[in-house]
Amino acid sequence: MASRDRVRFNIGGQLFETTSTTLANAGRESMLGALLDESWNPGQPEYFIDRNPACFSTLLDLLRTGALHIPSNVPEKLLYREALYYGLLDHVRGAKWGPFDGNTLRLADSVPGRAPGDGTAIRGAPDGGCCVAHGSVVHVYNWMLEERRPISLDYQQVNDVGYIDANSIVITARERLGKGDGGMAVFSAATGELRHRFRVEHGRQPKSFTAGALSLAGLDDHRIFSSCKGRLNEYGIGVWDHNTGQQVDFFYEHPGCSLGDADKLQWLPSKNCLMVATLFPRTDNCFIGLLDLRDKSIPWCWSDAGITMNLEDKRVLHAIAMEDGHSICVINQYDDLGFIDLRAGNTNSAGTGVRWSSRSKLMNQKAPYEESCYPKLATHNGQLFSCMNDSISVFSGSEHVLTSTLRRSYGGSICDFSIGGDRLFALHNEENVFDVWDSPPCPII
Amino acid sequence: MNAQSQSQSQSQRRKNFKIEAFKHKVELDPKYAERTWKVLEHAIHEIYNNNASRLSFEELYRSAYNMVLHKYGDKLYSGLVATMTAHLNKIAKSVESAQGGLFLEKLNHKWADHNKALQMIRDILMYMDRSYVPTSHKTPVHELGLNLWRDHIIHSPNIQARLQDTLLDLVQRERTGDVINRGLMRNITKMLMDLGSSVYQDDFEKPFLDVSASFYSGESQQFIECCDCGSYLKKAERRLNEEIERVSHYLDAKTEVKITSAVEREMIANHMQRLVHMDNSGLVNMLIDDKYDDLSRMYSLFKRVPDGLSTIRDVMTSYLRERGRVLVTDTERLKDPVEFVQCLLNEKDKHDKIISTAFNNDKTFQNALNSSFEYFINLNNRSPESISLYLDDKLRKGLKGASEEEVEVVLDKVMMLFRYLQEKDVFEKYYKQHLAKRLLSGKTVSDDAERSMIVKLKTECGYQFTSKLEGMFTDMKTSEDTMLDFYAKQSAELGDGPTLAVQILTTGSWPTQPTAACNLPPEILTVCEKFRTYYLGTHSGRRLTWQTNMGTADIKATFGKGHKHELNVSTYQMCVLMLFNSADGLTYREIEQATEIPALDLKRCLQSLACVKGKNVLRKEPMSKDISEEDVFYFNDKFTSKFVKVKIGTVVAQKESEPEKQEMRQRVEEDRKPQIEAAIVRIMKSRRVLDHNSIVAEVTKQLQSRFLPNPVVIKKRIESLIEREFLERDKADRKLYRYLA
């Protein structure tokens, strides 16, 4: 019985012996799974495969233990290529890094940019790849951090990017006056090809537009939202279905609420509302509102109009709705976190109601210098992340205590960061280099 | 040595130095691609011909890998499509040529082969599937194989219609009783599902549903003409179960709702009215005959269709209402209130059982039953009295020997009826009266049962409703204690005079009427006076009034030939009989003068003493049933009875006489007035301003647990309150009333 379970391989001249039980870990949908399947006369004394033995050794070890250990003499890219041959690339990816936890992050890689200067945005893909918007081009990286074909939407200034799934990237871009281009479109992440261009109609007339901030509703909800500016004061929030590619709604801007210029959109499933934040310096007065698309109302909004007089006053520079849907977290130029309660009703119109957390020691640390980037916020599994200058702070627990700081001295301050595919990506301003942080797989003991 | 070798190698290098054209990539020999494809094409042929045992998977996989790696993915892919298409066209021919019943077998067989081949082809081309297919927007191999099968086999003009007809024909044959190969059917429908839900739906499900609908439309028409309701429902149920079973055996699970709804529509929904109203076998007949099985079947089948249950419910409700209306207006039946209430209870039990056994205890059916009872019980304004009389009967004697649980069951059932009553205050009046009689005459069978009933009423209507009833019980207990004390203290003085048992009734708790006391015989009067002195001595500030109309007496009488009897009589009768101690014959007028008993009571009393056979301790002249003022009464010396103790009841109808009824009504109406007024004042106190209709609505709501106030009466009470300046009309809007603090 034991000998029947045993399998001998000759890989590029080197002999390996393993068991069919170990090979079963590869799954039927792999080359090794098919090789041993009964439809292909199995039970041969020895299987010869004309491939690299060192890589096979590493992959066999992965199948035996579930853990990935790459010897120093095996280049990572070579291993990936071999894994693709055997159909084990997903096994390798799954073993490379563990479940995301802001407090165990390690620097996995630093990828230099192609040109210095301001990057616009970085987004993590669901499979651990990422894309970087830089000027009028979006650079796409797969999870092995190999660059794919860059994408551009008519070579217009890219405003925002997002992943619909690991293979589909949606891009919003500025409209060029006099031409029907710009707007919003979906591209293949693998090939960079244009898949679909989203249209906006006003009064049944298709119109060109500038698309700004993006948000995707979620897993089962196929809606995609973007702030839009049309030529004839057609400002507001466009809504499309990314399955059908059709426009499904348009929320026209109410007077006094700036929607077409929004910096941040976020769909809140628990409230069935879209959070829209338009912030300094795009506008003088920060506006945050919840939009109910069903009846085109704004059931809740907040503005700091009237309380910020000069540049030294605390200004809300970024906002994110917390995952529980009970409050919105904001950040100011002194790196203070603040919370606005969403349950309090629409009583905050005078701009009060932000509960600033006292981080005075940071406040006194240094005045924001000229070249710094505006801070950004993100949430993931109950943890809150903020970037300020060249570091990212991780806050944990219901009280949002600072538990970790991620800092790299290279590349200048961080202009954007994103969490996706169990990885955190941070884009630096000066060198356009981005860092990849992930949590190690579970320890051996 | 060193220098020499160096120069040598340099000269060699120089000699061999050659500039080659710069190559972007090492291109593979184009013939290599063609050759590799031939190998793979051959392998695909061998796989389709079940000849794969000589193929080397590793070699084939490597070949396909190399083709993709060297950018021959297009060639590989298009080659695959062409080769597979060619094979499928051959298969189509072979399936088409299959004769009759072998057609499905052949198709199934070929499908299994194709799947196996497809799996192996996919194994070889796995690398292409992973790297070439996603980046060039091609269909993955497995899906491609299914699509080609769909297009070249299933949708081939010679197969498509034949397949559909064959499948539908098999289903039809199974419906008419044939046994078919369900395994084969299962495989074929599974194939259609594997090809995509739209293939299954378009090529099988839709025509299947159409054919089924017309089949059941015809069959139901045929059944309804020749079956009674019960057997029709049995057939429908069987058909429905057959279809559900069919789905579980060889159709997609999602088809179940669709086919059952088709059967439901054709067999039930379309014939619903006709079924429930079917002559001699419809719903009403089932209810009358307690056909639990049929009713249960009707319930579960009708539940499946829209408006099904409401159809049953409506018919049941109108049947119940009509039946109840007949019952409560049947004057013959009403003559015996006990039997009448028993009849209601039986009716309730019967339908409760139907609802619990056949209608799944459906709340909406229970509600329908309740509302029907509420409707017809209140059609008759004697219902409160009848229910109280029924209870009186049960608590008086009916429950003797019954266990505590049985008592509870009876009481609970009566409470159900009580709940239906709108005029609960009328019931209370009667109940109080009947309870008083039971308590005072010592006729109640069980104190526990009485108290249990009070508790139930209290739970149902609140403390206020029963406080007076409870007061009656307290009085009874206190009286007992008082009498013990009285005799303990006074026994020496009393000697051997008549024994007095006094029940002290609190005014207001009891249904007493202010009647003038009659003249008591002197023997009694002495004791009574002693008791009065005793009682007022221990309880200062009270007033005692004798209710001679409510008492009883045990007297010893000696008749001719020394026959001794103990007579149990009322106080009035005792007073009359005592007169005959000193006279043998008395006229009506003499008796009336001596006793001062009210005429109506006296007549009744004399009637029971002189006119009831076996109890006629007096003799009347002239002999007749009725008492007239000219009658003369004699002591009946010839009275005999086989009992020592003779109970002489008062001739009194258990039911009220017409004038009493009128009086009761009037008292009820009178009692309602302050309650309505109190409700109006309560409401206005909290609302301050309210219009007329709202007041009427609120008052009705507040009082409906006791009775249903008449809007006209409410209006009168409002007017009275305005007169007494509790309310005023709004000056601007006359419909509005204001509360005056």
A194–chain B Cβ distance below 8 A for any pair: no
Give the whole-angstrom CA distance, residue B690 versus residue B681.
12
The yes-or-no verdict on residue B312 having pLDDT over 90 is yes
Which of A254-268, B13-27, B99-113 has the highest average model confidence (pLDDT)? B99-113
Instruction: Provide the pLDDT for residue B539.
Output: 84
Instruction: Provide the pLDDT for residue A311.
Output: 62
Using a pLDDT cut of 70, give the percent of chain A over it. 91
B215–chain A Cβ distance below 8 A for any pair: no
Using alpha carbons, select from A173, A136, A165 the residue that is nearest to residue A151.
Answer: A136
Range A340-361 average pLDDT: 64
Give the whole-angstrom CA distance, residue A335 versus residue A396.
16
User: Dihedral sign, CA of B612, B614, B615, B620?
Assistant: positive
Range A2-28 average pLDDT: 88
Give the closest of A29, A40, A87 to B57, CB-based: A40
User: A29–B116: do the CB atoms touch at under 8 Å?
Assistant: no
Range name among A1-10, A37-46, B206-215 with the lowest pLDDT average = A1-10
Give the closest of B52, B53, B57 to A34, CB-based: B57
The yes-or-no verdict on residue B221 having pLDDT over 70 is yes
A48–chain B Cβ distance below 8 A for any pair: yes
A165-170, long-range: CB < 8 A, 24+ apart: A165/A126, A166/A125, A166/A126, A166/A127, A166/A129, A166/A421, A167/B134, A168/A195, A168/A242, A169/A123, A169/A131, A169/A138, A169/A140, A170/A214, A170/A216, A170/A224, A170/A242
Range B593-614 average pLDDT: 83
User: A37–B123: do the CB atoms touch at under 8 Å?
Assistant: yes
Band (A342; pLDDT cuts 50, 70, 90):
confident
Range A304-317 average pLDDT: 71
What's the angle, vertex CA B31, arms to CA B25 and CA B37, rounded to 5? 100
User: B126–A84: do the CB atoms touch at under 8 Å?
Assistant: no
B497: three-class secondary structure by DSSP: coil
The yes-or-no verdict on residue B656 having pLDDT over 70 is no
A18: β partners:
A7
B59–chain A Cβ distance below 8 A for any pair: no
Q: Which residue has the higher pLDDT, A119 or A235?
A: A235
Band (B513; pLDDT cuts 50, 70, 90):
low
Which of B19-23, B148-152, B503-507, B637-641 has the highest average model confidence (pLDDT)? B148-152
Task: Name the phi and psi angles at A207, rounded to 5.
Answer: -130, 150
Task: Identify the burial level of B613 via C-beta atoms within 10 angstroms of its C-beta, where 0-12 means exposed, 13-18 middle and 19 or more buried.
Answer: exposed
Element (H, E) at B412: helix B404-420
Give the closest of B53, B116, B127 to A41, CB-based: B53
Give the closest of B52, B126, B134 to A87, CB-based: B126
Q: Which residue has the higher pLDDT, B402 or B362?
A: B362
Check: CB of residue B381 under 8 Å from CB of residue B423: yes
Quote the ipTM score: 0.81
Range B343-366 average pLDDT: 93
User: CA of B41, closest CA in chain A: separation in Å?
Assistant: 17
The yes-or-no verdict on residue A127 having pLDDT over 50 is yes
Band (B5; pLDDT cuts 50, 70, 90):
very low
Range name among A231-235, B270-274, B551-555, B671-675 with the lowest pLDDT average = A231-235
CB-CB neighbors (< 8 A) of B134 in chain A: 167, 190
Range A339-355 average pLDDT: 67
Q: pTM value?
A: 0.70
Band (A360; pLDDT cuts 50, 70, 90):
very low
Give the whole-angstrom CA distance, residue A100 versus residue A424.
9
CA atoms within a 13 Å half-sphere pointing along the CA-CB vector of B612: 16
A87–chain B Cβ distance below 8 A for any pair: yes
Instruction: Provide the pLDDT for residue B6.
Output: 46
The CB density around residue B362, as the number of other CB atoms within 10 Å, is 17
Q: Which residue has the higher pLDDT, B494 or A255?
A: A255
Give the whole-angstrom CA distance, residue A152 versus residue A193.
9
A167–chain B Cβ distance below 8 A for any pair: yes
B190–chain A Cβ distance below 8 A for any pair: no
Question: How many Cβ pairs closer than 8 A exist between chain A and B?
Answer: 44
A38–chain B Cβ distance below 8 A for any pair: no
A192–chain B Cβ distance below 8 A for any pair: no
Distance of CA A69 to the CA centre of its chain: 27
In angstroms, the Cα distances linking A215 to A221, A253, A418, B400, B576 are 12, 17, 13, 81, 104
B127–chain A Cβ distance below 8 A for any pair: yes
User: CA of B24, closest CA in chain A: separation in Å?
Assistant: 19
Band (B510; pLDDT cuts 50, 70, 90):
confident
A281: cis peptide before it, omega within 30°?
A: yes
A166–chain B Cβ distance below 8 A for any pair: no
Give the whole-angstrom CA distance, residue A286 versus residue A304.
6
Give the whole-angstrom CA distance, residue B263 versus residue B220.
10
Instruction: Provide the pLDDT for residue B77.
Output: 96
Instruction: Provide the pLDDT for residue A361.
Output: 45
B53–chain A Cβ distance below 8 A for any pair: yes
Instruction: Provide the pLDDT for residue A364.
Output: 46
User: A85–B57: do the CB atoms touch at under 8 Å?
Assistant: no
Instruction: Give the residue on B whose Cα is nearest the Cα of A34.
Output: B123
Instruction: Give the residue on A whose Cα is nearest the Cα of B136.
Output: A191
Range B362-366 average pLDDT: 94
B65–chain A Cβ distance below 8 A for any pair: yes
Band (A276; pLDDT cuts 50, 70, 90):
very high
Range A285-308 average pLDDT: 84
Give the whole-angstrom CA distance, residue A118 versus residue A369.
17
CB-CB neighbors (< 8 A) of A39 in chain B: 52, 116, 119-120, 123
Task: Identify the burial level of A404 via C-beta atoms within 10 angstroms of its C-beta, where 0-12 means exposed, 13-18 middle and 19 or more buried.
Answer: middle
Instruction: Provide the pLDDT for residue A156.
Output: 85
Range B39-55 average pLDDT: 91
CB-CB neighbors (< 8 A) of A85 in chain B: 65, 127
B55–chain A Cβ distance below 8 A for any pair: yes
Residues in chain B: 741
CB-CB neighbors (< 8 A) of B123 in chain A: 34, 37, 39-40
Question: How does pLDDT run across B427-481, given as a tens digit for each residue?
Answer: 888 898 888 888 887 777 778 888 888 999 888 888 878 888 888 888 888 888 8
Q: What is the DSSP string of B601-663?
A: HHHHHHHHHHSSTT---EEEES--SS--TT-EEEE-TT---S-SEEE------SSPPHHHHHH
Give the closest of A34, A47, A48 to B126, CB-based: A34
Range B713-730 average pLDDT: 89
Element (H, E) at A354: strand A354-356
Range name among A289-293, B415-419, B733-737 with the lowest pLDDT average = B733-737
CB-CB neighbors (< 8 A) of A166 in chain B: none
User: A35–B61: do the CB atoms touch at under 8 Å?
Assistant: yes
- A 317-336 residues with CB < 8 A to B: none
CB-CB neighbors (< 8 A) of A47 in chain B: 58
Range A296-320 average pLDDT: 79
Instruction: Provide the pLDDT for residue A348.
Output: 47
User: A34–B130: do the CB atoms touch at under 8 Å?
Assistant: no
The tokens describing A348, both together, are 């905050």
Instruction: Provide the pLDDT for residue B375.
Output: 93
Give the closest of B55, B116, B127 to A85, CB-based: B127
Instruction: Provide the pLDDT for residue B156.
Output: 93
The yes-or-no verdict on residue B640 having pLDDT over 70 is yes
Helices B73-96 and B141-149, axial angle in degrees (round to 10): 30
Range B545-573 average pLDDT: 84
CB-CB neighbors (< 8 A) of B61 in chain A: 31, 34-35
Range B215-239 average pLDDT: 94
Band (B19; pLDDT cuts 50, 70, 90):
low
User: A31–B131: do the CB atoms touch at under 8 Å?
Assistant: no
A317: three-class secondary structure by DSSP: coil
Instruction: Provide the pLDDT for residue B87.
Output: 95
Instruction: Provide the pLDDT for residue A369.
Output: 52
User: B126–A29: do the CB atoms touch at under 8 Å?
Assistant: yes
Band (A26; pLDDT cuts 50, 70, 90):
very high
Question: How does pLDDT run across A58-84, given as a tens digit for each residue?
Answer: 999 999 998 999 999 999 999 999 999
Question: How does pLDDT run across A377-390, given as a tens digit for each residue?
Answer: 999 999 999 988 88
